Amino acid sequence: MPANYNNSAWFYDRLSRLVYGRALINAQIYLLRFIPAKANVLIVGGGTGWILDELSRIQPSGLKITYVEVASNMMTRSKKRNTGSNQVDFIQAAIENVSPPANFNVVITPFLFDSFTESTADNVFGHIHAALKPKGLWLYADFQLTKKWWQQLLLKLMLRFFKLICNIEASRLPDVEKRFERHNYKGVEEQTFFYDFVIAKVYSNNQR
């Protein structure tokens, strides 16, 4: 049975706030400032969709947003968000099962990769990469390990918990940085949060 965040939709945001305070929110809000006006934006794994509220607060109109989220309970919540006058297409599916046109200026993957095995990460990365225009921006937020003992422990607890509740497949973080390097992305800006356990990074797609 594949991973499914449905079971966690009703408590996900509250649990995240309880454990991390505003760190996971701030990491994503930090990234939103890099979205140019009138951009064509792909958001993958937006969870309950609060990122749509935040994005539309900063840019209330002119954006064309495609919002791909696999869990139906997450999607139901996302559809209730305030999206201003931005155009939003909601697609309830796994990103690897949809083929969005390759015309996005910006893609956002907020805490999408942490529950993937290396092989799923490969598949998902390739799919999203194919949708991003050359010189487009990939706004990436996720956990990282920086040799602080408690990070490894907290990560293990978190992955075990979500394995139990949502049947996620991973028991360690996939190496996403390696994939950005392999596909010739360049990191242009970054900031860390929660004592470096969380990274928000802006990558530019340098393919021709």
Ligand X SMILES: C[S@@+](CC[C@H](N)C(=O)[O-])C[C@H]1O[C@@H](n2cnc3c(N)ncnc32)[C@H](O)[C@@H]1O
CB of 36 to ligand X, least distance (A): 21
In the bound state with ligand X, the residue whose beta carbon lies nearer, of 112 and 131, is 112
CB of 70 to ligand X, least distance (A): 4
Q: Residue 73 is encoded by which pair of tokens?
A: 């309970």
CB of 46 to ligand X, least distance (A): 5
CB of 30 to ligand X, least distance (A): 13
In the bound state with ligand X, the residue whose beta carbon lies nearer, of 162 and 203, is 162
In the bound state with ligand X, the residue whose beta carbon lies nearer, of 57 and 135, is 57
In the bound state with ligand X, the residue whose beta carbon lies nearer, of 81 and 134, is 81
| 13 burial via Cβ count (<10 Å: 0-12, 13-18, 19+) | middle
Distance, in Å, from the CA atom of 161 to the CA atom of 156, rounded to the nearest integer, reads 8
CB of 144 to ligand X, least distance (A): 15
Question: Do residues 31 and 202 touch, judged by C-beta distance below 8 A?
Answer: yes
Contacts to ligand X by CB under 6 A:
5, 16, 24, 44-47, 68-71, 74, 94-96, 110-112, 124
Question: Do residues 183 and 132 touch, judged by C-beta distance below 8 A?
Answer: no
Q: Report the 10 Å Cβ neighbour count for 62.
A: 13
In the bound state with ligand X, the residue whose beta carbon lies nearer, of 158 and 177, is 158
